[in-house]
């Protein structure tokens, strides 16, 4: 078998038992790797309705199908678990050298269950698993944790993935950091790791990785590298994703002050252009990436002088305009703080923005905030609250729950401006100005997500009236979701998607040449659909209900106040129309369930059994 090892490593932290199981070539081909393989294994090893922070909830790491090769941007891995933030599928992707080390251990995936008796880290040395004490690491950020573990082991080549204090304190949107600054960032995978008292996973992998047709893989890879260094990725190289700020501001789609506005009057101050001119000091790339989209900014003077950190658009939007903050040094410092604590910047910004609105509306007092003036634009308050979230102290203990749980606890109509779908805080696109995105966020399998449902591309392309929800959007969203699932499973970075001409033909050929498994374009297309359907089946088994496919009240009642989209809202009628259209395009029932014939057609090894009271309706999806 080429590229794949055909093995998974099962680790029980409670008993310290280790077991190796085989994976069939047909399963690997059907789910590819990455998110697809991780989801399939999560379905297999996760019991229905288990609590996300319980010993039974597995934490699964799965390698990219193509990791370990020279194929550009392929050194990635996925993490999947039941999300403590949403209660549904929680999957995230990270990249770089830990991903390569995972591949070279000789396993395609790790499945971790149980809870350690005391803080622990794992050292996986090819086939050998060491359970190491981690009390001395508890409370440390990821870069320091990495240095300590390498010193403990005595090998600077060891690669480490770890949680920060936010994961230890069970912040529901904590992430897992590897290689110091790469994160599996959304849905709270770090909180699950923290609940298991697992501080880190260190890897030393030395197994060889072979490909089927080296000459052809090299030829295709060199061609992709040349294209990835050209116009198709220029915007990522020059400004990075912060270049989106002014574009979305012009489109009335830049969420500002917790979606009270859709454009930011200080957008120029926080733009990628301003960052590049006054703060940019270097760019960086993940392993095997020719694009180098990571832009590192340095604060040269003032209270945060010397702070140096990376900012992408989503972090910039969430810690900036969403909170009404235009002070770039504070935004850079806020991103650094989030990474120290190991908490997702998007969810952090969403929670702080919600709290700021609660404060300004009188629902949170100075007594509640311990005298923090939590008004929009107060950049010092932003930094104070991030620390409280990471430590779960004071007001941070409420905000560490995420806006869905926090608003239900606070009540008093604060749910109206709790901006989430299924518990996942919104990314930086205002769906009132992007109706296809509105549908994607409403039905998104992990919640409001621009990566798993990149429907914003349809709105920004000009091919539809982005201010109008109508029939036909369902099939467009399905196409984007399935395409994303394929990219997330191979895994190839979405930033080079336009370097392909006919993606499914070229990617299927690349997979065939690399793995030796014949894969047709139609089989690759079916894999994307299969992966999203098993995610849906997982969600149903964990308690998804049709009402979960919806959007926050603000988007229906509070119109855009300025710019090109002034006066626009989403109507419940148009969203319902698009959701029904989406279910039909998916081949699901009118209630959003998967018919058994659909599962058979996609060769998903799941049966539907009547178990009244366990699942939505009377159905449970079992392997």
- Phi, psi for residue 270 in degrees, rounded to 5: -105, 15
Topology adopted by domain 7-204: Aldehyde Ferredoxin Oxidoreductase;  A, domain 1 (3.60.9)
- To which H or E segment does residue 425 belong? strand 424-425
Confidence at residue 446, expressed as pLDDT on a 0 to 100 scale: 97
Mean pLDDT of the chain: 95
- How would you classify the pairing of strands 198-204 and 120-125? parallel
Question: If you average pLDDT over residues 273-298, what whole number do you get?
Answer: 94
The architecture of the domain spanning 431-589 is Orthogonal Bundle (1.10)
Alpha helices in 154-213 (DSSP H): 165-168, 189-195
Read off the pLDDT of each residue in 319-338 and give the average, rounded to a whole number.
Answer: 98
Q: What is the 3-state secondary structure (H, E, C) of 439-495?
A: HHHHHCECECCCCCCCCHHHHHHCCCCCCCCCCCHHHHHHHHHHHHHHHHHHCCCHH
- 329-to-169, 239, 305, 333, 385 alpha-carbon distances in Å: 27, 18, 8, 6, 16
Task: Please indicate whether residue 87 or residue 235 has the higher confidence score (pLDDT).
Answer: 87
DSSP annotation of 594 reads P
Per-residue confidence (pLDDT) for residue 616, from 0 to 100: 43
Query: What pLDDT is stored for residue 612 in this prediction?
Result: 44
Q: Using a pLDDT cut of 90, give the percent of the chain over it.
A: 95
Lowest model confidence (mean pLDDT) among 114-123, 145-154, 278-287: 278-287
Residue 112: helix, strand or coil by DSSP? strand
Q: Structure pTM?
A: 0.97
Asked: is 231-425 a CATH 1.10.10.10 domain? The reply is no
- pLDDT over 70 (residue 33): yes
> Within the chain, which residue ranges are assigned CATH 3.60.9.10?
7-204
Q: In the chain, what percentage of residues exceed pLDDT 70?
A: 97
Confidence of residue 607 (pLDDT cuts 50, 70, 90): low
Q: What is the pLDDT of residues 160-171, one digit of tens each?
A: 999 999 999 999
Q: How far is CA 565 from the centre of its chain?
A: 28
Summarize the confidence of residues 143-147 as an average pLDDT: 96
pLDDT tens digits, one per residue of 425-435? 999 999 999 99
pLDDT at 287: 87
Terminal CA-CA length for the chain: 26
At residue 618, the pLDDT reads: 44
Separation CA 84–CA 609 (nearest Å): 26
Tell me where in the chain the CATH 1.10.599.10 domain(s) lie: 431-589
Query: For 170-291, where are the E strands, in sequence order?
Result: 176-178, 182-184, 198-204, 280-284
CB 131, CB 158: distance < 8 Å = no
pLDDT per position as a tens digit, 342-382: 999 999 999 999 999 999 999 999 999 999 999 999 999 99
In whole angstroms, what is the distance from residue 124 CA to residue 127 CA?
7
Instruction: Give the C-alpha separation, 485 to 43, whole Å.
Output: 16
Half-sphere exposure of 480 (CA within 13 A, CB side): 25
Per-residue model confidence (pLDDT) at position 606:
72
């Amino acid at each position: 078998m080429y590229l794949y090892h055909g093995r998974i490593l099962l680790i029980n932290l409670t008993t310290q038992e280790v077991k190796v199981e085989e994976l069939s070539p047909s399963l690997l081909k059907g789910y590819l790797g990455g998110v697809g393989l991780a989801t399939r294994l999560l379905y297999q090893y996760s019991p229905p309705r288990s609590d996300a922070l319980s010993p039974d909830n597995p934490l699964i790491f799965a390698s990219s199908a193509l990791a370990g090769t020279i194929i550009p941007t392929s050194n990635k891995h996925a993490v999947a678990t039941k999300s403590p933030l949403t209660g549904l599928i929680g999957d995230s992707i990270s990249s770089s050298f830990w991903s390569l080390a995972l591949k070279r251990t000789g396993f395609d995936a790790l499945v971790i269950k149980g809870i350690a008796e005391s803080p622990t880290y794992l050292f996986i040395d090819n086939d050998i698993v060491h359970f190491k004490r981690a009390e001395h690491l508890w409370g440390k950020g990821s870069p320091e944790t990495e240095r300590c573990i390498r010193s403990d082991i005595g090998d600077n080549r060891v690669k480490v993935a770890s949680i920060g204090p936010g994961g230890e304190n069970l912040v529901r949107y904590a992430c897992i950091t590897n290689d110091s600054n790469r994160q599996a960032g959304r849905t709270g995978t770090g909180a699950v790791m923290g609940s298991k008292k697992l501080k880190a996973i260190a890897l030393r992998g030395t197994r060889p990785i072979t490909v089927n047709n080296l000459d052809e893989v090299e030829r295709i890879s060199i061609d992709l590298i040349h294209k990835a260094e050209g116009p198709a990725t220029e915007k990522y190289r020059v400004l990075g994703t912060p270049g989106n700020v002014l574009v979305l501001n012009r489109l009335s789609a830049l969420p500002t002050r917790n979606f009270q506005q859709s454009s930011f009057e200080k957008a120029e101050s926080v733009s990628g252009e301003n960052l590049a001119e006054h703060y940019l000091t270097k760019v960086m790339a993940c392993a095997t990436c020719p694009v180098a989209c990571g832009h590192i900014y340095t604060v040269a003077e003032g209270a945060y002088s010397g702070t140096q950190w990376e900012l992408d658009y989503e972090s910039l939007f969430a810690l900036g305009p969403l909170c009404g903050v235009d002070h770039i040094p504070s935004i850079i410092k806020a991103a650094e703080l989030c990474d120290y604590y190991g908490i997702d910047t998007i969810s952090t910004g969403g929670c702080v923005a919600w709290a700021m609105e609660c404060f300004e509306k009188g629902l949170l007092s100075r007594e509640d905030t311990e005298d923090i003036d939590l008004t929009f634009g107060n950049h010092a308050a932003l930094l104070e609250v991030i620390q409280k979230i990471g430590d779960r102290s004071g007001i941070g203990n409420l905000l560490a729950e995420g806006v869905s749980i926090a608003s239900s606890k606070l009540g008093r109509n604060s749910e109206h401006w709790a901006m989430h779908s299924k518990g996942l805080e919104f990314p930086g696109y205002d769906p009132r100005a992007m109706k296809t995105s509105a549908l994607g966020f409403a039905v998104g399998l992990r919640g409001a997500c621009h990566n798993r449902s990149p429907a914003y591309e349809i709105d920004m392309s000009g091919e539809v009236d982005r201010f109008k929800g109508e029939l036909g959007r369902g099939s467009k969203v399905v196409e984007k979701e399935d395409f994303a699932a394929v990219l997330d499973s191979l895994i190839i970075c979405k930033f080079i998607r336009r370097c392909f001409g006919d993606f499914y033909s070229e990617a299927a050929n690349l997979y065939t040449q690399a793995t030796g498994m014949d894969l047709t374009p139609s089989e690759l297309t079916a894999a994307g659909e299969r992966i999203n359907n098993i995610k849906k089946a997982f969600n149903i088994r964990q308690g998804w209900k049709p009402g979960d496919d919806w959007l926050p009240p603000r988007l229906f009642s509070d119109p855009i106040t300025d710019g090109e989209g002034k006066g626009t809202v989403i109507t419940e009628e148009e969203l319902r129309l698009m959701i029904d259209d989406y279910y039909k395009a998916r081949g699901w029932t009118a209630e959003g369930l998967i018919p058994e014939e659909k599962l058979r057609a996609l060769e998903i090894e799941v049966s539907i059994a009547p178990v009244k009271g366990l699942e939505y309706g009377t159905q449970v999806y079992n392997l």
